[in-house]
Amino acid sequence: MQRLIRIAVTAGWLVVIGCATEPTADETADVVYTNGRIYTVNEAQPWAEAVAIKDGQFMVVGSNAEVEAVIGEGTEVVDLAGRFVMPGLIDIHTHPSMSMSFRVFCELPGTFYDPTEEQTIEALRACIEEYPDEQEWFFAEGYSSPVMSEETLTREFLDELIPDRPAYVKDESGHYGWGNSLAHELAGIDRNTPDTPEGFFSRLPDGEPAGQIFEEAMNPFEDLILPLSPEVARLAKRKLLDQATAKGVTAVGDAYVFERDLADWQAFKREGALKAHVVLYHKGNLGNAELTPVEEITRFYEEYDLPGHPGIKMSMGGAIQSYTEVMLGDGYRNGQQVEPLIPVDTFAEYVRQLDEAGIQVKVHAIGDGTVRATIDGYEPTITARGENTLRHHIDHCTYIHPDDIARMADLQIPCSAWPMLNAPSGYNLDQATYVQPEIFEESDPNRDLIDAGVRVANHTDAPQANLWPWWGMEATITRGFPGKPDIPPMAAHQAITLEETIKVHTLNAAWVMLLDDLTGSIEEGKFADMIVLNHNLFEIPETEIHKTEVQKTIYQGSVVYSRE
């Protein structure tokens, strides 16, 4: 082959380009992809035509001619034929350990599908019909609370559907539940069970629980269901991980892990079953102020062979609709006043200990008061260090006071946003009846965050919403409801561009997960994590992004999913 003579050092390999001599085995790629439209998310080299991969890493990113120089006798050559390629998506906040357990046998249609109550009940009936007989409890998850009536969400209605075993169904947010009479009985819940601000029940006039279960009050029911059998627990995790691979996700954060889950993750790692980078965020607290000791988290990494770096997931609040998120001043329309789940001083000291132990902190915070309390807790540790070394971050940050956006930028606190809340979905619009209109109109301020210099990373929160990142990507750009153009957009002035949206789903998310040196962009020396799509995102209408299909998912150089 006649080539121009050039010598380059690429990703640690000496590559001789242009000599007539064939490259040696050490200089040749395992596989090359040519003739593509490759969007790299690397500012120094935004586009490429071809890539060469060796030992699971990008060896060359450039032109067809540059890649040709490392093709040897054993190199596999794949012609992309002009197809669009980008880095694999990174989903920093999912729930394969916690929530997927409740969907392993029954997933109900949530907000993405804009279901009616009738459609939801029809789906529930179908699940009941096919539910495994050997399961003592019926459990499911996924209904959209705003479309369900109080008359339906009763013990009596669920008793009629499932009279012969305890039944417990969670909504898509994971903050509300619905149980039949037998479930309440087994959980020891009756008219004498007190309501608290952290956990409470819908009630009949005589004080008996009516059927709905909120926040911390869900724990007694889940304590009876969990842990699942080892086989079912692994099936649940595997189901969500496979969904992620099919949607183009090559890095996953599990945002609530319990000790009962660790053997599964160890087995996945040792068996080579993982098709994505994984970071585990262990339970710090759940619906209350009870904190997992720091030494317990460190013990997990001493006793188990786990993927990723140590992390912890915490909640400083719950949900707007249950009045368990803090809103500043009179942010709630009814004047409700709420305190953070964890006192700020207690939280700040806990963060200091976690940071000292090298444990990254992830905090659920939706209300502007909850976000402020989280920043207040992070600030002493970040200030003492001089920077946010471990990239402690906030999940959701739906409502943020402008002063706190500036503080997040100064303290280098990232926001991991849930893009389904960018869309005028039923779940999201329901919040407008709880918070003041001027606050709701500034919800999910992605534009303001990015302009202020805050690193934003999108996540799906799957299976709280179905694992459909392309739906969220479109909503972030249009602020409309994907597939429903007649619904007016919400807070359209907070929309961001396609380039920005791709970055928050890839390189930004990798940065937040402390993985940016390894993945998140198509660059020489990084892991070869990329996806081939059915269309070029830059050449289609923004309103078609939700229809994106992944043709191939490539993780560390290997094809782990293919539609072909």
Paired tokens of 368: 């502007």
Euclidean distance between the first and final Cα of the chain, in Å?
Answer: 32
- Do residues 453 and 384 share a domain? yes
Paired tokens of 346: 């207690």
- Do residues 252 and 390 share a domain? yes
Q: Is residue 547 part of a domain?
A: no
Domain count, the chain: 3
Task: Tell which of 193, 225, 257 closes a domain.
Answer: 225
Of the candidates 157, 217, 160, the residue with the CA atom closest to the CA atom of residue 187: 217
Q: Is residue 532 part of a domain?
A: no
Confidence of residue 420 (pLDDT cuts 50, 70, 90): confident
Task: Tell which of 483, 503, 521 closes a domain.
Answer: 521
Sheet holding 550-555, edge to edge: 47-48, 37-39, 84-87, 530-533, 550-555, 558-562
Contact indicator for 347, 316 with CB cutoff of 8 Å: yes
pLDDT of residue 21: 55
- Residue 429: CA atoms inside 13 Å, Cβ hemisphere, count? 15
Q: Is residue 273 part of a domain?
A: yes
- Do residues 73 and 192 share a domain? no
Q: Is residue 64 part of a domain?
A: yes
Q: E strand or H helix at 417, and its extent? A: strand 415-417
**Residue 434 DSSP code:** T
Q: Is residue 298 part of a domain?
A: yes
- Do residues 134 and 36 share a domain? no
Across the chain, what does the average pLDDT equal? 93
pLDDT of residue 22: 64
Residue 225 makes CB contacts below 8 A (sequence gap 6+) with 101, 102, 137, 139, 168
- Do residues 260 and 204 share a domain? no
- Do residues 217 and 349 share a domain? no
d(CA 290, CA 287) in angstroms, rounded, equals 9
- Do residues 352 and 421 share a domain? yes
- Do residues 130 and 210 share a domain? yes
**pLDDT tens profile 269-312:** 999 999 999 999 999 999 899 999 999 999 999 999 999 999 99
Confidence of residue 113 (pLDDT cuts 50, 70, 90): confident
Whole domain around residue 190: which residue ranges?
105-225
pLDDT at 524 over 90: yes
Amino acid at 63: S
Each residue of 208-220: b (16+ CB within 10 Å) or e?
A: bbbbbbbbbbbbb
**pLDDT tens profile 501-519:** 999 999 999 999 999 999 9
Q: Is residue 559 part of a domain?
A: no
Confidence of residue 533 (pLDDT cuts 50, 70, 90): very high
Contact indicator for 560, 275 with CB cutoff of 8 Å: yes
- Do residues 399 and 499 share a domain? yes
Helices (H), 166-278: 181-186, 219-225, 230-246, 262-270
- Do residues 169 and 73 share a domain? no
Contact indicator for 439, 331 with CB cutoff of 8 Å: yes
- We report the CATH number of the domain holding residue 12 as 2.30.40.10
SS3 488: coil
Contact indicator for 361, 312 with CB cutoff of 8 Å: yes
The radius of gyration of the chain's CA atoms, rounded to the nearest angstrom, is 24
Confidence of residue 5 (pLDDT cuts 50, 70, 90): very low
Paired tokens of 235: 């099936």
- Residue 125: CA atoms inside 13 Å, Cβ hemisphere, count? 8
pLDDT at 530 over 60: yes
Phi first, then psi, for residue 343 (nearest 5°) are -55, 140
Q: Is residue 325 part of a domain?
A: yes
Task: Tell which of 203, 225, 247 closes a domain.
Answer: 225
Of the candidates 2, 68, 72, the residue with the CA atom closest to the CA atom of residue 30: 72
- Do residues 378 and 446 share a domain? yes
pLDDT of residue 114: 81
pLDDT of residue 437: 96
- Burial degree of 540 (CB within 10 A; 0-12, 13-18, 19+): middle
Strand partners, 257: 282
- We report the CATH number of the domain holding residue 393 as 3.20.20.140
Question: Is pTM, for the whole model, over 0.95?
Answer: no
- We report the CATH number of the domain holding residue 208 as 3.10.310.70
- Do residues 64 and 165 share a domain? no
Q: Is residue 408 part of a domain?
A: yes
Amino acid at 146: P
**pLDDT tens profile 138-196:** 999 999 888 999 999 999 999 999 999 999 999 988 889 999 999 999 999 999 999 99
Phi first, then psi, for residue 480 (nearest 5°) are -105, 180
**Looking up tokens 């995102």, which residue turns up?**
537
pLDDT at 535 over 70: yes
Sheet holding 249-257, edge to edge: 89-94, 249-257, 277-283, 311-315, 360-365, 393-396, 415-417, 456-458
**pLDDT tens profile 343-380:** 999 999 999 999 999 999 999 999 999 999 999 999 99
d(CA 424, CA 406) in angstroms, rounded, equals 27
Contact indicator for 314, 363 with CB cutoff of 8 Å: yes
d(CA 215, CA 204) in angstroms, rounded, equals 19
Centroid of chain to Cα 369:
23
